[in-house]
Structure 1
Amino acid sequence: MKHSEFDEEFDVIVIGVGAAGAAAALSAHERGASVLVVEKCPPKCAGGNTRVSGSGWFINSSPERAAVFLRALNGSRTVAEDVVQTWASETAKNSDWLADLGATARPTGAYHTEAEFSEVDGADCYAGMNTINGEMGQFLLYEFLVGALAERGIEIRFETRAQELTVVDGTVRGVRVEGPTGEATLGARGGVVLATGGFAANPEMVQDYLPLDEYVLWGSPHSTGDGHRMAQRVGADMWHMGNMMTITGIDVGDTTGLFLALWAGHDYMFIAPDGRRFTDETKGNRHGHVQRNGAEELFPLRPFHIVFDEKLRAAGPLSPTSAVLPVGWKLLMENFVWSTDNSVEVANGQIRRADTLRELAAAIGVDPDTLERSVHDYNAACDVGRDDHFGRDPETLAPVSEGPFYSLRVVPLLGWSDGGPRRDGHSRVLDTRGEVIEGLYAAGEASATYSWTKDGGFHIADALAFGRVSGAHAASRVAS
């Protein structure tokens, strides 16, 4: 029977239809709950970062060792032990759960075949990364999950934005939404699951929480922190709001950008705006962190220039095609194409070209003397096979010496935010006193488990695991 305050009532309402939202809805439905999913975007751009990610989840071969691995990756930024234990046990069930739904889950074979953080205690739990059909990206996971919802008759109301949570006697009982037919207040007997994604596309929240001034998005431009705001309004505490993932990116004049891959060779150097080389350019970016100064640091945090010569320009595209790495909004949703030999970008001025280093310095606005010294010193390190400044691996020391010379401005490419409403091992949102806000759950990028470093396939694994947990617990509240 419908409660008098609500226009409609369901057992569980899920906000957002990415991996976490779909998993929550399917899990609640499996337990006999009536479920509604509301999604602010139209079908053509729904799905958040799940839709444009690599869509893989890590294979957890040992829940016991996975708990050790997660604790070690979080380091001093500890996460509550009940969350660690749920994460460790539930991420090990993802592949079987998807298989029961009819998915063919297989290891990618080409990406994340072993742990990125192989030196960390517990990394032996990492047995690769599964994807749908063993293929990366291409919307495969998102399309499978939406299909699974449709097969079970679970309604998704697209173009329906959640505005505010409804609280009755201290318990979240529903949500006010605005859709094509106007506003409505929807009741949820068991609870509301926030699966609204991160806040990377909300400039105000990025300014408040992340150490970035200038950036472009790798993922969805619709990840605007809606769930964060709704949770805060009902008293939710927040966790690890400063954690995120950036990688080397290219600004193509839009909110979303491209990945600068640098897979074609080592004939390049990173130059700061002051014209100086500032780091080991070849340090591997492990999902937003590089090992530098004896610790794992977020990188990059600010723009810089990559300077290279004709060898690298002719070696292959600086940004991979969707056939090589089908990840990112610009690539998959907008079909953006980078030229195979970088010549188009040279011609249109995206890549600056000059016959001499001094001319290149003038073109990119750095001091010519400083740039010449920086390149000279780097090339000297290549000649002797030793980088005394930054310790770059001798095997990667390739000189920048064959004119003409080129430069491309690099900006942080923001893949995702990690922080959100603090939650417990049942995915229940906690208030600032550490007490459960009854009827409110969070899962996925809206409240990722990771307080610091993370490995390949961790975000999808986390979303699927806590999506299932939240949906099941919300359904259990109806049954009890």
Structure 2
Amino acid sequence: MKEEEIMGSTNSHHEAKGKSLSRRTFLASAALAGTTAALTSLGGCAPSSNGGTSNAGNNGSGATASHAWLDPAPELPETVAEETYDVVIVGAGIAGCTAAQAAAEAGASVYVAEKFEGVTAHGTDIGAVGSSLQLQEGVNIDSALAARLIYQWGQSEANYYLIRTFVERSGEIMDRYIDMAKETGYEVVLNSEMTARSDWDTLDDRFKQFRTAHKFLLPEGSDLPEQPWNVGYFINMVADDAQERGAVFAFNTTAEQLVRENNAVTAVIVRDDEGAKRINATKGVILATGGITDNEEMKRCFCPIALRADKSDYFPVGGNLGDGLIMGSWVGAALSPCYPAPIIHPVSLSVMGPGFDTCWLTVNRDGMRYCCEVGFEPIVTNARMNTPGNVAWAIWDAHYPEHAQRQEPTKSKSFMDGLEDKVEQAVTDGAFFKGETLDELAEAIGVPGDALKRTVERYNSFCDAGEDPDFGVPPRFLSSVKDGPFYASNVSAWLLALPYGLRVDQNSQVLDTEDQPIGGLFAIGNVQGDFFANSYPVTLPGTSHGRGMTYGYLVGSALARGETLGGYKAGIA
């Protein structure tokens, strides 16, 4: 698809203007009424008094009885300036910064609006399939199988071609940035810690995990600035490269509205300390605004199970308010029809990481076993958040060193030294609980002793037989609970991010409520809908960051060329 099909004809220039625009009204989608009726029928989705917590559309009109994304679009404000660029990007996280770098490298003039004072970077891994680093280490991944497993985790709701394009193209794109990292002075390795495991590729498909987690590091002795999170090295690297190529990063600048003229989005209204400004885009606007992690109203409407997470660990606070979803809705964009896939992990920072790095019998508050305990994150957290009282416990016995080594022969090497002393210290610190008998342990964690003992007896029979008919835990992870002392730790559920966004096609171009592309509007990163659905899979560790990188590069470079990325190629080759 060529530029005229994406945008319609516009003039290309990069200049600032000091005039004000006259007030005008947004083009509203006639299908919005149908969307409103569908969404307001959702249980537990009553509108708040302020119509949402996003900054987008905060026009000072006061309370409203509707959700912000269902309200009519506000009138455009008077503006104090106007600027024009080829590509305008909203959001400076991994997706937005990669898109800026790719578009600038391809020769486009680029403007990035970011509401915070700098780029947003957190997390450890960036997922990719087929990189040179993987090939060097003998990691050969069946891309068709990988794509199929991700698709199946979404219960066939997601767009298969978005997934397949990520799997097919992420390796070559990662290689570009591995080369850039070497030139910058960084190191890139394959990670095998935390959610990344090096030897789960031989498990059954529902547990299978491949070595896709790429970790950017600062070499020892480097004089480059240290980042608190590994992904920060990548994001700062691509943002710096984009700026060296002329991209303009406007920090402390909030995107408020999109301008849709005819069938194309042609500008973004932003606001900084000087006032509202119109930023024109001659080739396209890319939304990279993140998901809905910080928007309680959207969580109630679209993903209520996320409200049962123990904590939300996304930062900076207020970074994921669904701004792009609201702005898109105001110009007729459709919301993703997929149920969101919250990134919720059973994070345990204690030694052995029970429920996270190691797998143990788990029981609910009634002392009953309730799930498959394999530490494949959504299996553990989805079940935990549906337990009575929203609480659960991992249980193990005195033979935990042998159990841990059998479960994780590779990963356990990182925590075996002094393990017993560290476990006892965790008991002292209150992170773990201990009982010489199961009755003592039951009393310590507040579950019925008789029920716990019956559960343990049944579970031990499965361990002895090497088969779990209830939940299908593979023999490798079945760890009997027979000899005291006995231990327990709480099974946590931390919400790290909540991807949910706009409906897009195979090219990541935003669709309207009739499934027709909206000219000049694209969504990437966690505001890109239809990639994940229902449960966030860890089949390919680092996929959330990896798809941000992959689609940032593909959409940014394609827009600079006046093309789309050709999302159906993966199904034709």
In the superposition, the TM-score normalised over structure 2's length comes to 0.65
Matched, 1:230 2:327: yes
Q: Structure 1 CA distance, aligned partners of 2:505 and 2:351?
A: 35
Deviation at 1:272, TM superposition (A): 1.2
- Listed as ranges, the gaps of 5+ residues in structure 1 are 291-296, 326-338
Q: 1:132/1:197 Cα in 2 relative to 1: closer, same or farther (>3 Å)?
A: same
Counterpart selection for 1:179 from 260, 272, 278: 272
Matched, 1:270 2:362: yes
Q: Structure 1 CA distance, aligned partners of 2:322 and 2:202?
A: 29
Q: 1:29/1:436 Cα in 2 relative to 1: closer, same or farther (>3 Å)?
A: same
**Matched residue of 1:437: which SS?**
strand
Counterpart selection for 2:97 from 12, 16, 22: 22
Q: Structure 2 CA distance, aligned partners of 1:225 and 1:116?
A: 35
Q: 1:99/1:362 Cα in 2 relative to 1: closer, same or farther (>3 Å)?
A: closer
Q: Structure 2 CA distance, aligned partners of 1:460 and 1:33?
A: 24
Asked if structure 1 preserves the Cα contact closer than 8 Å seen for 2:511 and 2:518, the reply is: yes
Asked if structure 2 preserves the Cα contact closer than 8 Å seen for 1:430 and 1:437, the reply is: yes
Q: How does 1:388-467 map to 2 (within 5 A)?
A: 388-447=469-528, 449-451=531-533, 453=537, 454-467=539-552
Matched, 1:32 2:107: yes
- Determine the structure 2 residue equivalent to 1:189: 282
Matched, 1:361 2:442: yes
Superposed CA RMSD in Å reads: 4.3
- Determine the structure 2 residue equivalent to 1:132: 216
Q: Deviations over 1:172-231 (max 9, x none)?
A: 222233334444333323222111122233332223222334112354443332222222
Q: Kindly provide the amino acid, as one letter, of the partner of residue 229 in structure 1.
A: I
Q: Structure 2 CA distance, aligned partners of 1:91 and 1:279?
A: 34
Asked if structure 2 preserves the Cα contact closer than 8 Å seen for 1:131 and 1:141, the reply is: no
Q: Kindly provide the amino acid, as one letter, of the partner of residue 145 in structure 1.
A: V
Q: Deviations over 1:398-426 (max 9, x none)?
A: 33344454433223223433432122233
Asked if structure 2 preserves the Cα contact closer than 8 Å seen for 1:163 and 1:177, the reply is: yes
Q: 1:172/1:262 Cα in 2 relative to 1: closer, same or farther (>3 Å)?
A: same
Q: Kindly provide the amino acid, as one letter, of the partner of residue 91 in structure 1.
A: S
Counterpart selection for 2:339 from 238, 241, 248: 241
Q: Structure 2 CA distance, aligned partners of 1:437 and 1:445?
A: 19
Q: 1:78/1:397 Cα in 2 relative to 1: closer, same or farther (>3 Å)?
A: closer
Matched, 1:55 2:134: no
- Determine the structure 2 residue equivalent to 1:77: 156
Q: 1:346/1:238 Cα in 2 relative to 1: closer, same or farther (>3 Å)?
A: same
Q: 1:132/1:69 Cα in 2 relative to 1: closer, same or farther (>3 Å)?
A: same
Asked if structure 2 preserves the Cα contact closer than 8 Å seen for 1:53 and 1:219, the reply is: no
Asked if structure 2 preserves the Cα contact closer than 8 Å seen for 1:246 and 1:414, the reply is: yes
Counterpart selection for 1:214 from 308, 316, 321: 308
Q: Structure 2 CA distance, aligned partners of 1:55 and 1:115?
A: 18
Matched, 1:306 2:401: no
**Matched residue of 1:341: which SS?**
helix
Give the share of equivalent positions with the same residue, in percent: 25
Q: Structure 1 CA distance, aligned partners of 2:489 and 2:214?
A: 34
Q: Structure 1 CA distance, aligned partners of 2:508 and 2:231?
A: 29
Deviation at 1:441, TM superposition (A): 0.9
- Determine the structure 1 residue equivalent to 2:86: 11
Q: 1:40/1:116 Cα in 2 relative to 1: closer, same or farther (>3 Å)?
A: farther
Asked if structure 1 preserves the Cα contact closer than 8 Å seen for 2:188 and 2:217, the reply is: yes
Asked if structure 1 preserves the Cα contact closer than 8 Å seen for 2:150 and 2:163, the reply is: no
In the superposition, the TM-score normalised over structure 1's length comes to 0.75
Asked if structure 1 preserves the Cα contact closer than 8 Å seen for 2:394 and 2:491, the reply is: yes
Q: How does 1:320-399 map to 2 (within 5 A)?
A: 341-342=422-423, 345-382=426-463, 387-399=468-480
Deviation at 1:393, TM superposition (A): 3.7
Q: Structure 1 CA distance, aligned partners of 2:131 and 2:279?
A: 38
* 23-32 vs 77-86, greater mean Cα deviation: 77-86
Structure with higher Rg: it is 2
Q: Kindly provide the amino acid, as one letter, of the partner of residue 509 in structure 2.
A: R
Asked if structure 2 preserves the Cα contact closer than 8 Å seen for 1:236 and 1:437, the reply is: yes
- Determine the structure 2 residue equivalent to 1:161: 254
Q: 1:83/1:55 Cα in 2 relative to 1: closer, same or farther (>3 Å)?
A: closer
- Listed as ranges, the gaps of 5+ residues in structure 2 are 1-14, 22-78, 220-228, 405-410, 564-573
Q: Kindly provide the amino acid, as one letter, of the partner of residue 461 in structure 1.
A: G
Q: Kindly provide the amino acid, as one letter, of the partner of residue 8 in structure 1.
A: E
- Determine the structure 1 residue equivalent to 2:48: none
Q: 1:105/1:232 Cα in 2 relative to 1: closer, same or farther (>3 Å)?
A: farther
Higher fraction of strand = 1
Q: Deviations over 1:88-127 (max 9, x none)?
A: 5532421343256454675516456578587669x99x78
